[in-house]
């Protein structure tokens, strides 16, 4: 099953998250089989990231959005371990700093977008400015309601500059979220992850759902599509996302760049270097031999001293 078409948000159709089952596992019913497939996609991602980096003409931006405990960190840990750290960055979007807040809302996002050849993951993103900001009325409606068009323009600009954009909404149920909060409470190793806001934000579930539905419909474009990933099952979430990324990279037409040097000429240089090295080694070898049996030292240094 091609999850790129299956989970794509079609902007022409009304999106109702309540009609998408967070327990869905597509055509995969076995975790072990899914994990094996995920590993294959990870290998493909690794090979293609190498090409993306070498090619240096395009880049990839992955946006992860979700409510608390839906698995953004887990996706980064499990899916993106395929990527070579050389050429990959993650940026987490927190409450804007005073400096960020003093600029337009896209300013900080623009700063962190991938350079040519890079993969960048946004852990939360510029979408917070039409999500948390809307739900908590941090700016008036006249302000946030204009941001969808601005986001589309911004993402078109990035696309036309060679950045492929993929956006994932990790869809969990409120029951699953509560389960995960319990897991965190039961595990002292994860207490550091707990915040009071997890519980207060949870009471805004329906407002967030509405804000997400709007954002996803208004900004799922052919050049920067949104995918709603059923995420109650972590193994399925990892599989679907890695499949979509692997297939997207495959379609980017990545290739090794043309050789920048005359290989025949470089071969001559190489042989000359080998010859020089052998010559030197021979000399050094002689010297070392002499040093070993005392002749070199006595002959040369002795004379100096
Ligand atoms: P976390 O992802 O758990 O590290 O939390 C980051 C927090 O920063 C979340 O509660 C986000 O909603 C919040 N945040 C991110 N961007 C913004 C923004 N533009 N305005 C207000 N809060 C934000
Ligand atoms: Mg949090």
Residue 132 CB less than 6 A away from ligand 1: yes
17-44 pLDDT, tens digit per residue, is 999 999 999 999 999 999 999 999 999 9
Question: Residue 160's pLDDT band (boundaries 50, 70, 90)?
Answer: very high
- Residue of higher predicted confidence among 217 and 301: 217
Confidence at residue 63, expressed as pLDDT on a 0 to 100 scale: 98
Between 86 and 303, the higher pLDDT residue: 86
Counting ligands in written order, which one lies closest to the CA of residue 204?
A: 1
Span 40-54, average pLDDT: 97
Whether residue 120 contacts residue 88, with contact meaning beta carbons closer than 8 Å, is answered with: yes
Ligand closest to 196 (CA) is 2
Tell me, using a 6 A CB cutoff, whether residue 133 lines ligand 1: yes
CB contact burial 193-214 (16+ within 10 A = b; e otherwise) = eeeeebeebbeeeeebbebbbb
Q: Would you say residue 286 has pLDDT above 70? A: no
- The residue-averaged pLDDT of 83-105 equals 97
Residue 136 Cα: closest atom of ligand 1 = 21
Q: What is the mean pLDDT of residues 41-61?
A: 97
Residue 92 predicted with pLDDT over 90 = yes
* Whether residue 283 has pLDDT greater than 70: no
Residue 291 clears pLDDT 80, i.e. is over it: no
DSSP the chain: --HHHHSB--TTS---GGGS-TT--TT---HHHHHHHHHHHHHHHHHHHHHHHHH-S-EEEEEEEESTTSSHHHHHHHHGGGS-STTEEEEE--SPPHHHHTS-TTHHHHHHSPPTT-EEEEES-GGGGGTHHHHTTSS-HHHHTTHHHHHHHHHHHHHHTTEEEEEEEEE--HHHHHHHHHHHHH-GGGGGG--HHHHHHHTTHHHHHHHHHHHHHHH--SSS-EEEEE-SSHHHHHHHHHHHHHHHHHTT---PPPPSS-HHHHHHHHHHHHHHHHHHHHHHHHHHHHHHTTHHIIIIIHHH-
Average pLDDT along the chain? 93
Distance CA 88, CA 53 (A): 10
pLDDT digits (tens, 9 = 90+) for 183-239: 999 999 999 999 999 999 999 999 999 999 999 999 999 999 999 999 999 999 999
* pLDDT for the residue numbered 282: 54
Task: Among 68, 111, 123, 132, say which to mutate for ligand 1: greatest number of ligand atoms within 8 Å of CB.
Answer: 132
Task: Give the Cα separation of 296 and 153 in Å (integer).
Answer: 75
Predicted model pTM:
0.90
pLDDT band at 280 (very low <50, low <70, confident <90, very high): confident
Q: Provide the pLDDT confidence category of residue 292 given band limits of 50, 70 and 90.
A: very low
Backbone angles phi, psi at 256, to 5 degrees: -65, 140
Largest CA distance in the chain: 93
127 lines ligand 1 (CB under 6 A): no
At 105 the pLDDT is 98
């Amino acid at each position: 099953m091609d999850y790129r078409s299956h989970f794509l948000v079609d902007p022409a159709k009304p999106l109702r998250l309540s009609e998408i089952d967070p327990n869905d596992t597509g055509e995969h019913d076995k975790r072990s089989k899914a994990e094996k497939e995920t590993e294959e996609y990870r290998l493909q991602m690794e090979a293609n990231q190498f090409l993306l980096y070498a090619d240096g003409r395009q880049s990839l931006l992955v946006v992860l959005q979700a409510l608390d405990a839906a698995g953004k960190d887990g996706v980064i840990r499990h899916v993106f371990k395929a990527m070579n750290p050389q050429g990959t960055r993650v940026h987490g979007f927190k409450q804007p700093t005073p400096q960020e807040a003093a600029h337009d809302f896209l300013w900080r996002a623009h700063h962190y977008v991938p350079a040519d050849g890079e993969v960048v993951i946004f852990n939360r993103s510029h979408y917070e400015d039409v999500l948390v900001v809307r739900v908590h009325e941090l700016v008036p409606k006249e302000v946030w309601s204009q941001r969808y068009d601005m986001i589309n323009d911004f993402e078109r600009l990035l696309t036309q500059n060679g950045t492929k954009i993929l956006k994932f909404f990790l869809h969990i149920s409120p029951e699953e979220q509560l389960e995960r909060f319990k897991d965190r409470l039961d595990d002292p190793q994860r207490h550091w992850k707990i915040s009071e806001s997890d519980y207060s934000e949870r009471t805004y579930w329906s407002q967030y759902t509405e804000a997400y539905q709007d954002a996803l419909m208004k900004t799922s474009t052919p050049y920067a599509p949104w995918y709603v990933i059923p995420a109650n099952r972590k193994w399925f979430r990892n599989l679907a996302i890695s499949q979509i990324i692997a297939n997207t990279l495959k379609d980017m037409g990545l290739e090794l760049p043309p050789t920048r040097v005359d290989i025949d000429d470089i071969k001559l240089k190489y042989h000359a270097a080998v010859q020089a090295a052998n010559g030197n080694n021979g000399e050094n070898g002689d010297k070392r031999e002499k040093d070993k049996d005392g002749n070199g030292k006595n002959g040369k240094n002795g004379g100096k001293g």
